[in-house]
Amino acid sequence: MIYTRDHKTLDMYDPFPFLGPKRKQRIEESWAKLFRQEILPVLPVEKVFPFYNTTKGAPTKELYAMIGLMILQQMHDLTDEAAVDQFAYNIQWHYALNMTSTADTDAYVSPKTLWTMRSILTEKNLYAPLFESVTAKLADVFSVDTSRQRIDSVHVFSNMRHLGRIGLFVKTIKRFLVNLKRHHNDLYDHLEAALTDRYMTRQGEAVFSMVKPSESMRTLAALADNLFTLIERFKGNEKVAAMSSYQLLTRLLKEQCVAQSTPELTASKVTVKANKEVPSDSLQNPSDPDAGYDGHKGKGYQVQVCETYSTAEEGNTLSLITAVIVEPAHKSDAHALIPLIESTQNRGLGPDEVLADSLYGSDDNCEKANAFGVEVVSPVMGTPPDTGLTASDFGIIDEGTITACPEGYAPKKTKAKNGKHIAVFHSVTCQACPRRNDCPVKPGAKGHYLRYDGKAIRLAKRRAHEKTPEFKDKYRFRSGIEAAISEYDRKTGVKHLRVRGLPAVSFCATLKAAAVNIFRATAFLNRAEEEKRLGGHIIPGLSALLGAVKDQLAVLVAAIRRFFGLLRPYHRIAAHMPHDFLRGHQIWKAKKGI
């Protein structure tokens, strides 16, 4: 039976009379007061109503408190046991969740109940509305300006073991054999004892941990033979083929090996792919098949983060994480920009301008973002031409037609077809041009030709714009997203999670982003209160002044680091100077007979 309390109506009496004035002040300066007053009443408890009966059965735990517990657990990066203890004994949590009763029915939750609630939110993707309700409420309360935002990604490790290729083969085969023995013991008993002993006994599995690097490919070839043997043996058995562990075997063979498709196919015709031929989205661990592989950061997942920002001129304003998307690590950042923009616009938090690095700022992404009314401020991917003129130096009208070359000469003919443009100039004019060696116009049969398309024009204009002070002044704020990601990890531990699988990782990363927003809003509120207490109305722009001082200190620290970096090559010389001096002095004394 569904049990909820009304958290919007104020209490007539203080529900926490045992808190003295000092402890009351401390708790109201923390995140607990903001959570109690603003977040708790808007938690989307109605989303979980379909999973409980409205009239029958024992009452559920208070659902607002249970959903709030999901956020608080991720906010403080706690295990289930630690979260249960905090829920039972922590007065700050009781205050935040408006738990005024100390009875076990209200102030106690079992680990199984916590697990069940998390399972519901994870499997039904209800953590997304939870994050959205928290973010929307904070954006409304603090009048957050979402017109300017910036995005980046952070690599996340799930609770998976990092296996080499040999370990990956061994663990995948062993997992299948364990499941086969558990569900189809009769089929398991008919397998060769040499095969099962190799993977199911401690002595046999230990052999794989002592493989020399020079013998690794030979060992992989033997493992591939065993893998192929198991797949071929049970591929006609529908019950076995439906097992997830068997499907991992087939996936591993497809991604890591090459098998010839001949009628008399044998295990000896299976070869292991070279490391460079294995795709980045291949199976990384049988315990976490959703994880991907990034060549720079390794195995795991990545979280796309989008946050608001403000300039120094705007003073003290609140920045919020407006959207998060969790993906396997092999996914390219280039595919995340448009989903992030769509996600924020669907919730009324869409930006007018987005700062991003070059991976996000492809020409295709910029055009799609323009269709949403969003300007993408990003460097152009790739290396620009070292010298010479580009298409952007020519006079071009909006339709993409060239009107004049950099020297002012108009083309004698222009043509456009299927997005491709051609401008033909008089050969006599071009041959006499002093800039012909730097010009992209090339000689042809009936004149000098310039071939280009709309993308080339747009990229050339963007590269030219990158060199302007206007672009540099705007783009310098993109680096602030690195601080947001650092805060994301330091306060919530998002980079190393205790769970596996894309749904569970998405649940944790999304609620941890909501927790960061709560932390930020609390700090912002406390700063505003401090300014009032210090007479901020008498000292206008105090926060802007402090921000400017902070920026100058950052510049000073960077200069000091560069200075010591320049001294680094002389470190070894300086370290040996005393020894060299003493040695030379001893030689001089020996020559003088002193």
For the ranges 4-13, 204-213, 222-231, 521-530, the lowest mean pLDDT is seen at: 204-213
Indicate whether 377 pLDDT > 70: yes
State mean pLDDT over 242-261: 88
Range with the largest mean pLDDT of 197-201, 292-296, 323-327 = 323-327
CA dist 403 → 4, 31, 338, 437, 521 (Å): 70, 61, 34, 21, 54
Q: Which residue has the higher pLDDT, 81 or 102?
A: 81
Predicted TM-score (pTM) of the model is 0.79
* CA 47 to chain CA mean position, Å: 27
Q: How confident is the model at residue 384 (pLDDT cuts 50, 70, 90)?
A: low
Cβ(61)–Cβ(113) under 8 Å? yes
Provide the pLDDT confidence category of residue 398 given band limits of 50, 70 and 90: low
Confidence at 267, pLDDT banded by 50, 70, 90: very low
Query: What does 467-516 look like in DSSP terms, one character per residue?
Result: TSHHHHHHHGGGGHHHHHHHHHHHHH-TTB-S--SHHHHHHHHHHHHHHH
Categorize the per-residue pLDDT at 538 as very low, low, confident or very high, splitting at 50, 70 and 90.
Answer: very low
Query: What per-residue confidence (pLDDT) applies to 551?
Result: 65
Report which residue type is found at 216: S
Phi, psi of 383, rounded to the nearest 5 degrees: -95, 125
Poorest-pLDDT segment among 160-174, 265-279, 542-556: 542-556
- Residue 243: predicted pLDDT: 93
Residue 76 CA to its chain's centroid (Å): 19
Q: What is the pLDDT of residue 353?
A: 95
CATH class held by domain 293-382+472-519: alpha beta
d(CA 517, CA 142): 12
Residue 504's pLDDT is: 96
Residue scoring higher pLDDT (12 or 541): 12
Q: How many helices (H) and strands (E) does the chain have?
A: 24, 14
417 bridge partner residues: 420
Give the tokens for residue 278.
């294995």
Q: How many CA within 13 A on the CB side of residue 430?
A: 23
Please state which of the ranges 216-225, 445-454, 561-570 shows the lowest mean pLDDT: 561-570
- Cβ burial 417-437 (10 Å sphere, 16+ → b, else e): eeeebbbbbebebbeebeeee
**Interatomic CA distance for residues 373 and 449, integer angstroms:** 35
Report the amino acid identity of residue 113: T
Task: Check whether 390 has a pLDDT greater than 90.
Answer: no
Which of the given ranges, 14-23, 184-193, 194-203, 438-447, has the highest pLDDT on average? 184-193
pLDDT, mean of residues 350-368: 93
Tell me the CA end-to-end span of the chain in Å, nearest whole number.
Answer: 101
Q: Token digits for 286?
A: 């049988």
CA angle 179, 184, 186 (to 5 degrees): 130
Q: What average pLDDT does range 6-26 have in this prediction?
A: 85
Q: Which of 58-72, 111-125, 300-314 has the lowest mean pLDDT?
A: 300-314
Determine the average pLDDT of the residues in 141-155.
94
Query: What band does 281 get if pLDDT is binned at 50, 70 and 90?
Result: confident
CA angle, residues 435, 441, 443, in degrees to nearest 5: 105
3-state helix, strand, coil in the chain (%, to 5): 55, 10, 35
Query: What is residue 57's predicted lDDT score, i.e. its pLDDT?
Result: 87
Q: How much is the mean pLDDT over the chain? A: 85
Which has more pLDDT, 390 or 541? Answer: 390
- For residue 138, pLDDT beyond 90: yes
- Residue 184 CA to residue 451 CA, distance in Å, equals 67
Please give the helix or strand (H or E) that residue 587 lies within, else none. Answer: helix 571-592
Q: Is residue 260's pLDDT more than 60?
A: yes
For residue 471, the model assigns a pLDDT of: 92
511 CB-contact burial (10 Å; exposed 0-12 / middle 13-18 / buried 19+): buried
Instruction: List pLDDT tens digits, range 169-208.
Output: 999 999 999 999 999 999 999 999 888 888 888 776 667 7
Q: 265 pLDDT exceeds 50? A: no
Q: Which of 132-136, 428-432, 457-461, 585-589 has the highest mean pLDDT?
A: 132-136
The answer to whether the beta carbons of residues 283 and 289 sit under 8 Å apart is yes
Q: Where is 79: in which H helix or E strand?
A: none
Question: What whole-number distance in Å separates Cα of residue 33 and Cα of residue 324?
Answer: 25
pLDDT of res. 562: 67
Of 103-117, 397-411, 459-473, the poorest mean pLDDT is in: 397-411
Strands 270-272 and 257-259 turn out to be: antiparallel
Query: Residue 266 — very low, low, confident or very high, per pLDDT cuts 50/70/90?
Result: very low
- Average the pLDDT over 4-24 and give the result: 85
What confidence score (pLDDT) does residue 543 get? 58
DSSP label at residue 297: T
Which residue type does 388 have?
G
By the 8 A CB rule, do 390 and 463 touch?
yes
Distances (CA, A) of 84 to 66, 108, 483: 11, 7, 31
Number of C-alpha atoms within 13 angstroms, CB side, residue 433? 22
Q: Which of 11-15, 117-121, 426-430 has the lowest mean pLDDT?
A: 11-15
Beta strand 353-355 with 148-156 is parallel
Q: What is the pLDDT of residue 588?
A: 61
Using CA atoms, how far apart are residues 71 and 497, in angstroms rounded to an integer? 15
Q: Is the pLDDT of residue 264 over 60?
A: no
Say if residues 7 and 66 touch (Cβ distance below 8 Å).
Answer: no
pLDDT band at 483 (very low <50, low <70, confident <90, very high): very high
Q: 332 CB contacts (<8 Å, ≥6 apart)?
A: 359
> DSSP for 20-50?
-HHHHHHHHHSHHHHIIIIIGGG--GGGGGG
| 194, amino acid identity | A
Q: What six digits make up the tokens of 142?
A: 């603090």
Would you state the pLDDT for residue 373?
A: 93
Whether 374 shows a pLDDT value over 80: the answer reads: yes
Q: Is a pLDDT exceeding 60 seen at residue 541? A: no
* Alpha-carbon separation of residue 3 from 11, 55, 66, 130, 196 (angstroms): 19, 10, 11, 19, 52
Closest by CA position to 464, among listed 403, 524, 528, 380: 380
C-alpha 291/C-alpha 299 separation (Å) is: 7
Residue 388 above 70 pLDDT? no
Tokens of 453: 């398309």
**How does residue 567 score in pLDDT terms, banded at 50, 70 and 90?**
low
Percentage of the residues of the chain whose pLDDT score is greater than 90: 49
Q: How far is CA 543 from the centre of its chain?
A: 30
Q: Given pLDDT bands bounded at 50, 70 and 90, which one contains residue 349?
A: very high
Mean pLDDT of 78-84: 96
To the nearest 10 degrees (0 to 180), the angle between helices 127-141 and 63-75 is: 80
Could you tell me which of 269, 276, 236 has the C-alpha nearest to residue 253? 269
Angle subtended at Cα 508 by Cα 300 and Cα 499, rounded to the nearest 5 degrees? 55
CB of 405 closer than 8 Å to CB of 394: yes
Q: How many residues does the chain have?
A: 594
Percent share of the chain, pLDDT over 70:
86
Task: Look at the block and give the residue holding tokens 């995948």.
Answer: 172
Q: What local confidence, expressed as pLDDT, does residue 415 receive?
A: 83
- Minimum mean pLDDT among 126-140, 224-238, 346-360, 373-387: which range? 373-387
Band the pLDDT of 583: cuts 50, 70, 90.
low
pLDDT, tens only, 32-77: 999 999 999 999 999 999 999 888 888 899 999 999 999 999 999 9
* Ordered strands of the 448-453 beta sheet: 413-417, 420-425, 448-453, 442-443
